[in-house]
Amino acid sequence: MQTGLFYSNSIVHMLAVQIMEGLFLRIFDAHCDVLWRMWENREISFKDSEILHVTWDGLKKSAAKVQCFAVYVPEKVRKESAFDVALEMIDIFYEEILQRFPNMKLITTKRDIGELKEGQIGAILTLEGCDAIGTDLDKLRTLYRLGISSVGLTWNHANAVADGILEERGAGLSSFGKSVVKLNNDHFIWTDVSHLSVKGFWDVMELGEYVIASHSNCKDLCHNPRNLSDEQVQALIQKDGAIGVTFVPQFLSNNSQASITDILRHVEHFCTLGAVEHIGFGSDFDGIDQTVQGLHKIEDYSNLVNSLLKYYSETEIRGFLFDNFYKRFPK
Ligand SMILES: [Zn+2]
């Protein structure tokens, strides 16, 4: 019984991958927390660890072409050590991912993405929360030099840049925060508003040149504070930003269990707001403990694609999976 089930699942998976390859679909995933997992547990191998949602083997099995890797310094780390921890995670990225898998290529420009050969997968370094830089712009410039191409201003709480969405005070950007956004603009770096307070969001809409929400869904469908209101979505469209629909069950459904149908509901809501050419996916794989039914790891993207194919055109799906983020990569 179990063996039969296994075969039928794997045949479905194979067919889905064949359809994706036939259509030459490519995936750009705007957020995962692999580096944090690998920093927490140095024994984990990026090749095929059972613990990880995103692995080298998984990326190869899926139609992944570009994967963003977040540097997320957990809140338990003392402030004075936060920059060192960010550097440790970046070291893991270079040593355990790029160095070990030569077909994994560091991406810092749009041209780098265009030049990826068959079999190569691009890796973008992103910062999730500016806690690591304290109040030093020189630290931020150092992170750019190491390859950081997108800067999330906060995690859920406050730092020197702004308040996060769960910080009761709800403050927007500090003066230092404004200089961070301006520096991102000057260096053609994405400013990522996922996790940011509502007031901070609107401050970024005023100041930011290259804005994204790497992993956020619609508040209208799921009342989690991490999600975006319709007005916020429209503002991101106006700024020509991109939004990564995320696979966090608590951000997809009000009862915290979620299916691929829930992802499609959010995709459709974004589309009705005019975001058909602005949405992509930011899985949050390895940042989540619970996963969406049928979408437990990177290679399961094929199940999502199969569902999308029922409702959207090939061009729209190409946009969601890849083009909408790719087109807006600022450098
Ligand atoms: Zn996050």
Lowest mean pLDDT among 7-11, 169-173, 206-210, 215-219: 7-11
| Residue 2 pLDDT grade (very low, low, confident, very high; cuts 50, 70, 90) | very low
> Rounded to the nearest whole angstrom, what is the distance from the C-alpha of residue 317 to the centroid of ligand 1?
24
Separation CA 161–CA 129 (nearest Å)? 9
Asked whether the predicted pLDDT for residue 7 surpasses 70, the reply is: no
Nearest to 287 by CA among 145, 156, 197: 156
pLDDT band at 18 (very low <50, low <70, confident <90, very high): low
Ligand 1 centroid – CA 250 distance (Å): 12
Confidence at residue 10, expressed as pLDDT on a 0 to 100 scale:
58
Q: How much distance in Å is there from the Cα of 215 to the middle of ligand 1?
A: 7
**pLDDT tens for each residue of 47-101:** 999 999 999 999 999 999 999 999 999 999 999 999 999 999 999 999 999 999 9
Q: Whole-angstrom Cα distance, residue 36 to residue 88?
A: 10
Q: What is the pLDDT of residues 233-245, one digit of tens each?
A: 999 999 999 999 9
Distance (angstroms) between ligand 1 centre and the Cα of 94 equals 22
For residue 271, report the distance from its CA to the centre of ligand 1, in Å. 23
CA–centroid distance, residue 45 to ligand 1 (Å):
22
Ligand 1 centre to CA of 194 (Å) is: 7
Structure tokens at 292: 């969406």
Residue 256 — very low, low, confident or very high, per pLDDT cuts 50/70/90?
A: confident
Q: How far does the centroid of ligand 1 lie from the alpha carbon of residue 166, in Å?
A: 12
Tens digits of residue pLDDT in 138-182: 999 999 999 999 999 999 999 999 999 999 999 999 999 999 999
Q: Both tokens of residue 235? A: 């503002």
The alpha carbon of 138 and the centre of ligand 1 are apart by a number of angstroms equal to 24
Q: Which of 145, 2, 132, 23 is nearest to 70 (CA)?
A: 132
Half-sphere exposure for 39 (CA within 13 Å, toward CB): 25
Residue appearing with tokens 């992802």: 263
Residue with tokens 């690998």: 38
Q: Measure 125 CA to ligand 1 centroid, in angstroms.
A: 14
Rounded distance from Cα 128 to ligand 1 centre (Å): 7
CA Rg value for the chain:
19
Distance CA 289, CA 271 (A): 28
Q: Are 74 and 37 in contact (CB under 8 A)?
A: no
